[in-house]
Every structure is written in structure tokens, then in C-alpha cells.
Structure 1
Amino acid sequence: MQSTQYSSFWFQEALESEPEIQPRQLETDTTTDVCIVGGGFTGLWTAIQLKMKQPSLDILVIEKDLCGSGASGRNGGCMLTWSTKYLSLKKLYGEAEAIRLVKASEAAVYDIAAFCHAHGIEAQIRLDGTLYTASNQAQLGAMAPVLAALDKQSINAWQSWTKEKVQSESGSEVHLEGHFSSAAGTVQPGLLVRGLKRVAEKMGVTIFEHTPMTAIHRQHTPVRIVTPGATIQAGKVVLALNAWTPSLFPELKHSVVLVSSDMLITEPAPERLSTLGLSDGKSVIDGRTFVHYYRTTPDGRLMLGKGGNYFSFGNKVSAVFDQPSRYQSILGAAFRRFFPALQSVPVATTWTGASDRSATGMPFFGRLADNPSVVYGLGYSGNGVVQSWIGGHILSSMVLEEDNDWTRSGLASGPRGSFPPEPIRWLGAMLVRNAIRRKESAEDGNKTPGWLDKQLSKLAQSAGKSDKG
């Protein structure tokens, strides 16, 4: 077992379940049909989809660390859909495409589970649904507009639960209202991404880890990618770098803002969780802008997370994202509020993940203007476990230049909206974040937030909820 320690509990657990790891590094110049830069969910799903469509393709994946060591191996593991974003989807892409994307995202939950079953990936997938709640009076009724719109199109998978059922099923009396959808689940994301690596290699995909891209000469075809040990010439290139994309490609630096999602996980306490009613794998997400989310694990741990804490200046992927959470006091306060009966259960560890949040709250895919042979995808906005499966369909279709629903989708037309340059972006993010914190703190105490805090908080609504999966 290699000795590197990773801050993510999920990823470290996944590595410890593998036999001796001996990652291959690229040391010899090579050529390939398709080079995928980034070995997380997006890159691996794209490689797998390409191999399923055209088995004869020579596909090479390079990853600067180990596959899954980035956002893919450290998120909350919540398998959620786009159904709650239907109104945003309709505004961005039109009614017909919004309906299609909601249905596709719900189908993807089951497609991922079926893929794992078919290929022997033991990723602790539990299709027990998700529960969206109101955890204070101000959040009551927040889902009503989108549920009415889903009802109108006969695509509403959500059920309204009584307050008593919500509290019983969520394990917390803090929740005052809730809606449940069975089209959701949870997964151990580290096990999933490492499983995808093994499947991709069995399909014939060549993967090199500890092989960062140090330069890309994209003005020519084949594209030339430089790594510390060798050079790659590729007919097509897929940039699956997500949070790392803006720092390497200036044309995309204003398309996302990097923000942390911070998580804690307890030591196993299955009996205590069962006493509270937490006996299955559903996720629970409350109705604030920077959501609280939690779920249990098969061995009886409780994971709780909160998005929207650290905003990176200049979208730099700093050391903060590879360390235990610097917001442990915030996580601890949420844990005590939701679960006063679990205060004696020890916290095993905390960690931090980087989320690339787009201006619309939706991912986007496109081609580099100076070389359409280079395609990219990013901006999952904290909702990428399921959506990266769709990203693999979009990017593989773009690489093969197919004319289908994915290449014609508005998702494949590049970023829609941008953030201002620094330092305005960071200062604005801090202003809005702090206003949201004051507003939601007041609401938790059943107090009326200040007028200015309410107005500033509205600026964050277009990007949707924060990191969960």
C-alpha cells in the first residue's frame, strides 16, 4: 500500500480496500486517438462511453495524482438529480429540453447502479432516495413552485411527507417539512471512482497516474500534450479537470468560482443511528442556500456536510482543499443542532472538497475556440456524482462528432454567464456569503433577517444549492 495520506475519508478508505497500488507513470513519448486529461468521474465515464461506442479507439487517460483523488473521491456521495432545478433548466434551455434533462438525470441514478452491478464495482450504492426538508420556518414552502411545474409536465417524482414522518425518517426534530423522491441514492464515491478506473483498464483504456499535464500545444492537430516524463500526440483531447480547469485555460477563468464543501464523518455507531430512525441510505438535504446535507454509511457512520464556506481567490486550487476542514466549528454546530442525542459519538475526521460553481448552477461542455479537437466539461456546482455520467455521454458524443440529443443540447454550448474579474469576484463572494450566513442564522432563531442581507442573499439563488454530491 502506498503511503500517501489523503484528507478525504472516502478516498483513503477506497485505497485501503485495494491490493498493492503501483500507479504507472508515462515515461515514453506516445500517440493516441483520444487523450483524456483528468482521471475523475468525468474523465473515466467519458473513456468508458467512448470504448463502448468504438472499442477500437486508442484512449489514454492521464491523472496528476491518483484517479479519484480530486473532487470525485471527496464529495458527499449523494446521487441526486436535476428535478429540483427544472425551472432553471426551462429558463436556460427551453421546456422540452428541461423535461428531457430531468428524466435523463433520474434515469442516470439507476444506470450507474446497473453499470456497477454488471461490472462488479462494489461502491456501497443504496437506492433509498433523498429527502429535501425545511429546517426552519423561513424554508417552508420553498419547493412548491418547482413541484407545481413538475406536476404540470407529469414528471414529478416527489412525495410530500407529514412532519411526523419527516422527523422520524430524517432522525432529527429540526426538520419541519419534507419531500421525498425515490429517484436518488447514495454511494461511496472513492470506491466508485477507483472501480471505474479498473473497468476502464479492462476495456483497454490506458491510464497513467502521477502524470500531470505541464503544457498543451493546442494550435495544431494532432494536439501535443507535455508531461514531466514524455509527450503525447492526440487526435482529440478531453479536458476533464473540473476545478483545475480555470487556472490552466484563461478563456474559462471567469466561467466558474471555486468554493469548498466541508464534511465530517463520525465513528461507527449503528445502534445509536438506528434508534433515531437512520437505518437506510437516503440523503437528507435542507432548504438553505448553502445547504446542510447528511447520510449514513453501511457500517453505521453519519456523514454531515455544508457547502459554501471557503471561496478561492483567483480560482486557485490551494492547499485548503487538501486539508481537514477549517470550518469544523460550523460543522460541529450543525451536527449538535440536528442530532443533540449523538453528541457523545466521536467525529472520526473532517475534510474539504473543491467545487467548480458555474453562474447558472449547471455544468457546461464545449470546444476550445482555437482548436475544436479539444473539448471540455466542468461547472457541476456541487451536484456531479450522477451528472458526470451524463457528462460522459456529452463529451464522448462531442469527441466522435455525433449528431444526437447530447451534442444538440444547450449543455454542450459552452458557459452561459460569467463572474467578474478579481478582486471584484472574491469581494462580492465574501459579501454575499456573509449576508447569507447572517440571514440563515436569524432564520434558524425564528428572527427576521436584515433587509440588506435578504437582498444580497438573492444574488446566490441563480447558482442553486451548494455541494452535496
Structure 2
Amino acid sequence: MTVHPALRDARPVPYWLDRADLRPDPAPELAGEVRCDLAVVGGGYTGLWTALLAKEEDPAREVVLVEARTCGWAASGRNGGFCESSLTHGFGNGMARWPEEMPELLRLGRENLDAIEAALARHGVDCHFERTGQIVVATEPWQLAGLEEEVEQAKGLGQDVTFLDAEAVRAEVDSPTYLGGAYWRGDTALLDPARLAWGLRAACERLGVRIFEGSPVRSLDAEGDGVRLRTDHGSVRAGRAVLGTNAFPPLLRRLRRYTVPVYDYALMTEPLTGEQRAAIGWAGRQGLSDAGNQFHYYRLTPDWRILWGGYDAIYHYGSRIRPEYDQRPQTFDTLARHFFATFPQLEGVRFTHRWGGVIDTCSRFCVFFGTALGGRVAYALGFTGLGVGATHFAARVMLDLLAGRDTERTRPRMVREKPLPFPPEPLRYAGIQLTRWAIARADARGGRRNLWLRALDRLGLGFDS
């Protein structure tokens, strides 16, 4: 296929991770037997926050974190850096599923974002945390009514959100495609994903967490009153364990029905010149996304690059995860064309990086929780691309569950209930592909959802990134 001219020099690696001067040295591989009070599987945000908060809660607690590769190398180092207060993958999804709980979930979400900001300051984590808010823009007429309705609902629950008409939204960020927007103030921070992961890793080590990298955990079993985790060259004997495995196969087989791995893709531009910045405005530096079913998300970096991602959500038969899937030329070409359609005034800008990564999605679009092996193990999965902020909340929930604590975090139905499972193959693949086709068709037909999508809506099922 023809490569878009703006992509010709783009490096096929995640921008955030492409900085050898900032990347920490690898931690040692696990060898022999290690004993601890709490074992954490996974060195992404979920595992890192859990280890950090566990040590803050009880400095005497022995905590071990085991990571298959290096901390932050997967979704935690490849995402767009949107740290949102929402625990429900957006206001609309929460209202559709737990309307009676939304006042409480919104409060918990705001407090969670505040707690993240405080923790970063407390531990000196410099991840360019910037509380910018977010604008969801309408680029098709059919999207306006939905945005207006959501804004009114949210304002009724005390949210700081404003509906913007075309003139008002273009005064914030100038694109000829914008017809209106919903401006959510204060509920979104932008940050550098890799700096966050590496900063949390360093904070964990300062508090005494033992971290082992290059050590994939092969099995998890109950042993005595605790658990045993085995790697290729060692094992961990722990009283309790937490699973933060994200899209990768969970160590508990029963959980494999609840999530599917989905590939998401992004581009990063070169730094904009002063003239280019003036052409688009964006002085508020808000995070942006559009209101389509197949949506884009985009934001500015501190040096005025634009990250542009989303739209395609790719599932491979059999839930396969392979390194070669991180690159998808047809998606990069689509993203580049959409970028210049949104910002024609930036014609001539080049992309410096192109990358993809796998995330875990579930049928209700947001994180779910649970315990296993008689309460010895806790897990949080299914973040569906909105986990930068929600992982901190998830860590606190899992620590509560392991301790048997009844708290305001463990009481909501959203925490106590699980999503409906995905069917086995080949029905899983067929259903996901049919849903992707139907979503694209709805976007092309003024948002009209066909019988298949309406049936999924009634069942509370879906597929998203």
C-alpha cells in the first residue's frame, strides 16, 4: 500500500518509551525462592500502584513485584496519557449501567484523581502531570444531540461541564470539522505515560519493594495458607497475591472468558512551530476526543507535539498477541489522513513515531474486580483503554478485598458485579467482527444503530477500545 508522505520517517516505536536517557536499568531476573507477604504480578500501572500503596499502608509488609518484561513496556508505556477521573469509562457508560450509583462513583473518581496528584507530589514523580480538562467534539450533526443530553445529565449531578456550539469550540481549538463539543473541566489530567511508570517503579524501590523483571509467571497455586507463583528460574511464596496482567492471559483460567486483547494505534508529530500553533489555537491544551463510535483521541505534549490515536480497534482470532501486531500500516495511513482532515492548516507536518499496543477490553467497557483461591488472590481487569487513572482506584480496591475490608470502594455494584463473558471461538471472533462492522455502519448512517447493536445494548454487551 502507499505510505502517507507524513509517515515516511516515522520510527516504529512508542514515542514515550523511545528515550534511553530516561529509561531505568532493568531489574534482576527472579532466581531461586523468594518469600513475601504480598506478591504482585505485572509491572504496569495496576501492579505498581498496588505495590506502592501496600507499602505506604504498612511499611513492614514485604512486597515483591514480578514483571515478564520491563515495568511500563506494554499498555502503561504506550497509551495517550489521559488520566481521567471517570471510573466507568466515561459518564455515558456509567449512567447506562449504574445510574443510581453515579453520584457516588463520580465522587470516588474525583477523589481518586486528587489522590493520584497528591501521590505524585509526595513521591517526586515527574511525569508532566497537567490538569487540563477534556473536550469531546462533535464532527457530525447526529452527535450534537447526544452531547447536549449528556451535558445536561452531568450538570444535574454537579459536574463542571459546558456545551459549546461550533463557534465556541473552534475558539478553543480550531478545526473546520468541529460542530460543537462538551467541555469537561478539571476531570482530566494529561501526563507522560512512561515517566509515570518509571517514576512509580523508582518510588516502589525507595520504599523497599523488591522488583524482578524478565520473569514471566507461569503458574499460580494455593499452598498452605498462601500462594506459590512459579517463573522459569524461580518462585515466590506469598501470603497474598494481586494480578495486574492487563490484556495478557491471566493466571486464573476462568478469567479468560471476561476479557479480550485489542490493539490500539497512535501517531506522534514533530514539534509544531509557533506559526502552526497559532493556526490551531489550543491555548488551553485540553485533551480532545470525538463523539463517534469509532473515535479519535488526541493531545499536546509539553514540547507541542500532537499525539493522534484511536479509531481502529483490532482483535485477532484466538485472542492472539504478537509483537508484529504492534505495527499496522493501513491503520497508520488512516490515522494520518484523518489527522490532516481535522487540521488541514497543519499540512506538511511530519510524524516522528508510529506504534500500537494491546489493551484489555471487557463487555461492560470498564474495570471489574474479584478474588480467587479462597480470598488469597485479588485481580482487576478490563480497563478498556481508560486505565491510567482507574488503576490507582483498582489498587486500593484490591488491597481492601485482600484484607476483607468493607469500604466505600468495595460496596458499589460496579465493584461487586462482573461483566458478561465473551463467547468462545469461533463465535467470539465472528461476534466482534460483526460488531465492528455495525459500529462503522452506524457512524456512516447518522448514528443509527442496527438490530445487532440494539440487541447488544439491551444485553449490556459491547466491544470497544
What TM-score does the superposition give when structure 1 sets the normalisation length? 0.89
For residues 130-174 of structure 1, the C-alpha deviation after alignment (integer angstroms, 9 at most, x for no partner) is: 001111112112123333333333x22211223212123223121
Q: Is 1:324–1:349's contact at 8 Å kept on the other side of the alignment?
A: no
Question: Hey, what does 1:39 align to over in structure 2?
Answer: 43
Note the 1:82-161 alignment, pairs <5 A: 82=86, 85-86=90-91, 88-90=93-95, 92-93=97-98, 95=100, 97-153=101-157, 155-161=158-164
Instruction: Tell me, yes or no, if structure 1 residue 278 matches structure 2 residue 282.
Output: yes
Question: Hey, what does 2:260 align to over in structure 1?
Answer: 257
Note the 1:372-387 alignment, pairs <5 A: 372-387=375-390
Helix, strand or coil: the match of 1:310? coil
Question: Hey, what does 1:446 align to over in structure 2?
Answer: none
Aligned-pair CA distance for 1:287: 0.5
Helix, strand or coil: the match of 1:16? coil
Helix, strand or coil: the match of 2:428? helix
Instruction: Tell me, yes or no, if structure 1 residue 179 matches structure 2 residue 175.
Output: no
Equivalent-residue separation in structure 1 for 2:106 and 2:203 (angstroms) = 27
Equivalent-residue separation in structure 2 for 1:282 and 1:455 (angstroms) = 36
Aligned-pair CA distance for 1:198: 0.5
Helix, strand or coil: the match of 1:10? coil
Aligned-pair CA distance for 1:326: 4.9
Question: Hey, what does 2:216 align to over in structure 1?
Answer: 212
Q: Is 2:261–2:359's contact at 8 Å kept on the other side of the alignment?
A: yes
Question: Hey, what does 1:290 align to over in structure 2?
Answer: 294
Equivalent-residue separation in structure 2 for 1:220 and 1:314 (angstroms) = 35
Equivalent-residue separation in structure 2 for 1:146 and 1:343 (angstroms) = 34
Equivalent-residue separation in structure 1 for 2:461 and 2:295 (angstroms) = 13
Which of 335, 341, 345 does residue 331 from structure 1 map onto? 335
Could you tell me which amino acid in structure 2 is paired with residue 185 of structure 1? A
Q: Structure 1 residues 299, 179: closer, same or farther in 2, change over 3 A?
A: same
Q: Is 2:375–2:402's contact at 8 Å kept on the other side of the alignment?
A: no
Could you tell me which amino acid in structure 1 is paired with residue 260 of structure 2? V
Could you tell me which amino acid in structure 1 is paired with residue 17 of structure 2? F
Aligned-pair CA distance for 1:274: 3.5
Which of 387, 410, 413 does residue 410 from structure 1 map onto? 413
Q: Structure 1 residues 160, 463: closer, same or farther in 2, change over 3 A?
A: farther
Structure 1: give runs of 5+ residues left out of the alignment. 444-448
Aligned-pair CA distance for 1:6: 8.2
Could you tell me which amino acid in structure 1 is paired with residue 265 of structure 2? D
Aligned-pair CA distance for 1:81: 3.0
Question: Hey, what does 1:8 align to over in structure 2?
Answer: 14
Q: Is 1:253–1:315's contact at 8 Å kept on the other side of the alignment?
A: no
Structure 2: give runs of 5+ residues left out of the alignment. 1-10
Helix, strand or coil: the match of 1:198? helix
Aligned-pair CA distance for 1:237: 0.8
Equivalent-residue separation in structure 2 for 1:93 and 1:251 (angstroms) = 25
Equivalent-residue separation in structure 1 for 2:161 and 2:142 (angstroms) = 21
Q: Is 1:308–1:433's contact at 8 Å kept on the other side of the alignment?
A: no
Aligned-pair CA distance for 1:225: 0.7
CA RMSD of aligned residues (A): 2.4
Q: Is 2:148–2:182's contact at 8 Å kept on the other side of the alignment?
A: no
Number of aligned pairs?
Answer: 450
Helix, strand or coil: the match of 1:148? helix
Could you tell me which amino acid in structure 2 is paired with residue 11 of structure 1? L
Could you tell me which amino acid in structure 2 is paired with residue 423 of structure 1? P
Instruction: Tell me, yes or no, if structure 1 residue 17 matches structure 2 residue 13.
Output: no
Q: Structure 1 residues 321, 404: closer, same or farther in 2, change over 3 A?
A: farther
Greater alpha carbon shift after TM alignment, 391-400 vs 376-385: 391-400
Question: Hey, what does 1:166 align to over in structure 2?
Answer: 169
Helix, strand or coil: the match of 1:185? strand
Q: Is 2:262–2:314's contact at 8 Å kept on the other side of the alignment?
A: yes
Equivalent-residue separation in structure 2 for 1:240 and 1:398 (angstroms) = 15
For residues 343-399 of structure 1, the C-alpha deviation after alignment (integer angstroms, 9 at most, x for no partner) is: 20111121112121111112101012x432011110111111111111111112122
For residues 247-283 of structure 1, the C-alpha deviation after alignment (integer angstroms, 9 at most, x for no partner) is: x432112212222221111111142134310334311
Instruction: Tell me, yes or no, if structure 1 residue 195 matches structure 2 residue 199.
Output: yes
Equivalent-residue separation in structure 1 for 2:184 and 2:380 (angstroms) = 28
For residues 279-327 of structure 1, the C-alpha deviation after alignment (integer angstroms, 9 at most, x for no partner) is: 3431111101121111111111111111443113222222244436651
Equivalent-residue separation in structure 2 for 1:88 and 1:329 (angstroms) = 30
Q: Structure 1 residues 161, 147: closer, same or farther in 2, change over 3 A?
A: closer
For residues 213-262 of structure 1, the C-alpha deviation after alignment (integer angstroms, 9 at most, x for no partner) is: 0122236532111111211111101010011145x432112212222221
What TM-score does the superposition give when structure 2 sets the normalisation length? 0.90
Q: Calculate percent identity across the aligned residue pairs.
A: 27
Could you tell me which amino acid in structure 1 is paired with residue 389 of structure 2? V
Could you tell me which amino acid in structure 2 is paired with residue 281 of structure 1? R
